[in-house]
Amino acid sequence: MPAGTCNIAMIGTKFMGRAHSNAYLKVDKFFDLPIKPVMHTVAARNQEELKAFADRWGWQHCATNWQEAVTNPEVDLVDVVTTNNVHAEHTIAALEAGKHVACEKPLAGTLADAKQMVEAAEKASGKTFVWYNYRRCPAVALAHQLCKSGKLGRIYQIRGCYLQDWAGPDTPLMWRFEGDVAGSGALGDLCAHTIDTARFITGDEVTEVIGAAMETVIKERVILEAGGGEISGHGAATSQKKGASTVDDIVLFVARMDSGALATFEATRLSTGYKNANRLEIHGDKGAIRFNFERMNELDWYDATLPEELQGWSTINVTNGNANHPYAGAWWPTAHILGYEHSFINQAADMVTVIGGGEPVVPLADFADAYKVQRVLSAVVESDKQRSPVALSDIQ
């Protein structure tokens, strides 16, 4: 790594490729970083699409051979935004090449792949990161700080849900509905975020999945013939042929936390009327918080230590840098609100800061940390299969 720089290679484009590219493009414009991120190489299979993507987003080089990108001696950080079933292959190769590695969530499509990734990270010299970007919403980061300082007291209950409605019966069979590629449906795509956010805010871990239910509501979908394959564009060209959807459309489960708190989680991409409602409530004996990503700049706070006549929910606009709201000082004046893309820019800032020897604003998820979420996902699947409780100690 040349002094003062961090050369990045990204494998994959599409939805997350755009989000990550935008983050690297903007991050040093808003944050004072110890080293400068350089968008060195982007890798994907389609040469024509790849070149257009690189030109649009500012990548210096293209590679249709991802192995060449991750082993390039000029590259310092490899960012993996491919489908879940190849996370292990790409990240392990990068770690063995001595690179720092960032990986999209969930960590992998299967628990076995995730375990291999953790073991590779333990042997490697590079740092690892997982893009649980909702940690980087200022409201979620503030909730983490409030809980860590004891403001919520003893946690009684966690209630989390992630609700979307884009995956109705007319949505074609993209990779997100193929179990051998995605690993799971709403569980890994959505609920993984909510699980991570809950444990990040509270510092508490799931010890048992008491009961779970998973359902594939739409059994068959029209097969994509060309193009698309992402949420933002489902593919214009389709046939009339149908294929089996092999992932869950809806998941619900009840969990017990290490502290003794009880938690409920649900996720679906069929929740008519909800577009991207990643919602979390945490109730303690001293206070409570509520968060809904559809209002991502706000954190609802209840202070149970106030005199009873003064108690009530208050809404904090978490955009005030002068009030030390996390990340807010890097951005705009108070109440000039942030959007989805800023969570990725905030994460890019923390990753580059850590690579440069500094401390993140709030903790990042590395492979070992993200593996804990993967174990919960696996326990949910087992609980649904067995129709019985599953202890996390049995999921290794």
Q: Mean pLDDT score of the chain, rounded to an integer? A: 95
Task: Summarize pLDDT for 115-126 with one digit per residue, the tens.
Answer: 999 999 999 999
Q: Which amino acid is at 101?
A: V
Handedness of CA 333, 338, 343, 349 (dihedral sign): negative
Burial tier of 122 (Cβ tally within 10 Å: 0-12, 13-18, 19+): exposed
Residue 45 main-chain phi, psi, to 5 deg? -85, -35
Burial tier of 379 (Cβ tally within 10 Å: 0-12, 13-18, 19+): buried
CA–CA dist 289, 213 (Å, integer): 27
Report the percentage of the chain scoring pLDDT > 90: 94
pLDDT of amino acid 58: 97
How many Å from the N-terminal Cα to the C-terminal Cα in the chain? 36
Least confident span in 219-228, 239-248, 341-350, 355-364: 219-228
**For the residues of 318-358, what is the DSSP string, one character each?**
---GGGT-TTGGGS-STT----HHHHHHHHHHHHHHHHTT-
Residue 5: pLDDT above 50? yes
* Residue 183 φ/ψ region, left for φ over 0, alpha for ψ in the -120 to 50 degree band, beta for the rest: left
Q: Which residue has the tokens 């009530």?
A: 312
Long-range contacts (CB closer than 8 Å, 24 or more residues apart) made by 165-169: 165/269, 165/270, 165/271, 165/272, 165/273, 165/274, 165/275, 166/231, 166/269, 166/275, 167/218, 167/249, 167/269, 167/270, 168/218, 168/270, 169/218, 169/221
Identify the helix (H) or strand (E) that includes residue 145. helix 138-148
Q: Which residue has the tokens 């414009």?
A: 29
pLDDT of amino acid 231: 54
pLDDT of amino acid 226: 59
Region 51-59 average pLDDT: 97
Query: How much is the CA Rg of the chain, to the nearest whole Å?
Result: 21
DSSP three-state, residue 237: strand
Task: Summarize pLDDT for 347-394 with one digit per residue, the tens.
Answer: 999 999 999 999 999 999 999 999 999 999 999 999 999 999 999 999
Least confident span in 31-45, 182-196, 220-234: 220-234
Task: Summarize pLDDT for 157-215 with one digit per residue, the tens.
Answer: 999 999 999 999 999 999 999 999 999 999 999 999 999 999 999 999 999 999 999 99
Residue ranges and CATH numbers for the domains of the chain are 5-133 (3.40.50.720), 137-337+372-384 (3.30.360.10)
DSSP three-state, residue 50: helix
Residue 137: pLDDT above 90? yes
Model-level pTM greater than 0.75? yes
Residue 225: which pLDDT band, with cuts at 50, 70 and 90?
confident
Task: Summarize pLDDT for 70-82 with one digit per residue, the tens.
Answer: 999 999 999 999 9
Query: Taking a C-beta distance cutoff of 8 angstroms, is the pair 69, 78 a contact?
Result: yes
pLDDT of amino acid 396: 87
Region 99-117 average pLDDT: 98
Long-range contacts (CB closer than 8 Å, 24 or more residues apart) made by 87-91: 87/113, 87/117, 88/113, 88/114, 88/116, 88/117, 90/11, 90/66, 91/117, 91/120, 91/128, 91/367
Task: Summarize pLDDT for 205-219 with one digit per residue, the tens.
Answer: 999 999 999 999 999
User: Which CA distances in Å does 118 have to 107, 122, 150, 191, 380?
Assistant: 9, 6, 31, 21, 21
Residue 237: pLDDT above 90? no
Region 252-265 average pLDDT: 98
pLDDT of amino acid 107: 98
DSSP designation for 104: P
Residue 224: which pLDDT band, with cuts at 50, 70 and 90?
confident
Task: Summarize pLDDT for 304-316 with one digit per residue, the tens.
Answer: 999 999 999 999 9
221-244 burial, b if ≥16 CB within 10 A, otherwise e?
bbebeeebbbbeebbeebeeeeee
CA–CA dist 262, 255 (Å, integer): 6
CA–CA dist 146, 320 (Å, integer): 16
Residue 235: which pLDDT band, with cuts at 50, 70 and 90?
very low
